[in-house]
Amino acid sequence: MNTPNWLRAIGRVSLWIWAALGLLFLFTPILITVIYSFNEPTGKYNYVWNRFSLAGWADPLKYPELTDALIFSLKIAIAVTVIATLLGTLLAMAMVKYKFRAKGVIGAILILPLTMPEVALGFSLLTLFVAVNWSRGFVTIIIAQVMFSVSYVATTVRARIRGFDWRLEEASLDLGASSLRTFRKITLPLIAPGVVAAAMLTFALSLDDFIITYLNSGLDNTFPIQIWNMKRSKIPVQINVFSTALLIISVILAITVVVGGNRRSRKLAGLNDVSGASLNS
């Protein structure tokens, strides 16, 4: 039985409406954050729209404690991103490329940080640091965040390279290229989009994390913790300014990654076809 055209039209319109509502639900808070970065609040709390102003953008460093917290968070996020991306990528490549007995066990362990409540993970790490008498601070925050970030990186990169044709490496080695040159010219460009996406996800998670970081932090506050502490006395417009600036940087990086990944994929698609043809001949 054929579906009437009018019924199919209603289905398409309904789908578009639900999609629009979903996007509106997702992006409305972000849009409000951006709009309120141009607000001039009447009091200490930037909750109610008063009038348009560039005062927050003209003086973003008005509150040194907020600026210091953002710089501290960026340092942690950069360190966590580098460490977690390196470890997660190597782990993902080992899980996909090689066969070994503990492969299933390691795969299950990778899932645990993704399913474990942050309170439980953060408190378990806090108990460990206290037991070994390790003072909490910059290093303990990095260790705590790397614990769950590696799982995100390994899962993301593993999904990206699952269909990787390892015969390309073999062809490169057969043509006389060294292992390092093969990895730099063949393997890395092919897995780069997944690695970069995982790195961006790790950076965002690190910058945004509150519970695990709060439980394992010392005297220095990260950006989310500082906002939490400041909300009792004030919510200045500079919070919206910093958030909007980070959002703009993230969007630019995401667009750059997508465009670069598409160009790289088109470039390497020809290489894949040529190598596949030579290997099959």
d(CA 190, CA 167): 13
Q: Is residue 17 part of a domain?
A: no
Residue 260: what are its φ and ψ, rounded to 5°?
-65, -40
Instruction: Give per-residue pLDDT as tens, 64-100.
Output: 999 999 999 999 999 999 999 999 999 998 888 878 7
Q: Is residue 77 part of a domain?
A: yes
Q: How buried is residue 266: exposed, middle or buried, by Cβ count under 10 Å (0-12/13-18/19+)?
A: exposed
Q: Name every residue whose Cβ is closer than 8 Å to that of residue 206 and which is 6 or more positions away in sequence.
A: 73, 76, 77, 80, 81, 145, 149
Where residue 6 falls among pLDDT bands split at 50, 70, 90? confident
The whole-number average pLDDT for the span 241-259 is 86
Tokens representing 90 are: 């190597």
Whole-number pLDDT of residue 273? 57
Whole-number pLDDT of residue 271? 55
Q: Name every residue whose Cβ is closer than 8 Å to that of residue 135 and which is 6 or more positions away in sequence.
A: 218
Q: Kindly report the CATH number assigned to the domain that includes residue 115.
A: 1.10.3720.10
Q: Is residue 23 part of a domain?
A: no
**Domain assignment of residue 233, given as a range:** 37-280
**Is the confidence at residue 280, as pLDDT, over 60?**
no
**Is the confidence at residue 262, as pLDDT, over 80?**
no
Tokens representing 246 are: 């980070």
Percent over 70 (pLDDT), the chain:
91
Whole-number pLDDT of residue 252? 86
Residue-averaged pLDDT of the chain: 86
C-beta separation of 168 from 99 below 8 A: no
Percent over 90 (pLDDT), the chain:
48
Q: Is residue 195 part of a domain?
A: yes
Q: Is residue 178 part of a domain?
A: yes
- Measured over the CA atoms of residue 161, residue 163, residue 166 and residue 169, the dihedral's sign is negative
Q: Is residue 272 part of a domain?
A: yes
Q: Is residue 129 part of a domain?
A: yes
Instruction: Give per-residue pLDDT as tens, 154-197.
Output: 998 888 887 777 777 778 877 888 878 888 877 887 788 888 88
- Measured over the CA atoms of residue 154, residue 160, residue 165 and residue 170, the dihedral's sign is negative
Give the dihedral of Cα atoms 99, 101, 104, 105; nearest 10 deg: -140
Number of domains the chain is built from: 1
Whole-number pLDDT of residue 28? 93
Q: Name every residue whose Cβ is closer than 8 Å to that of residue 181 and which is 6 or more positions away in sequence.
A: 172
Q: Is residue 4 part of a domain?
A: no
Say what the pTM is.
0.82
Q: Name every residue whose Cβ is closer than 8 Å to that of residue 210 and which is 6 or more positions away in sequence.
A: 224, 225, 228
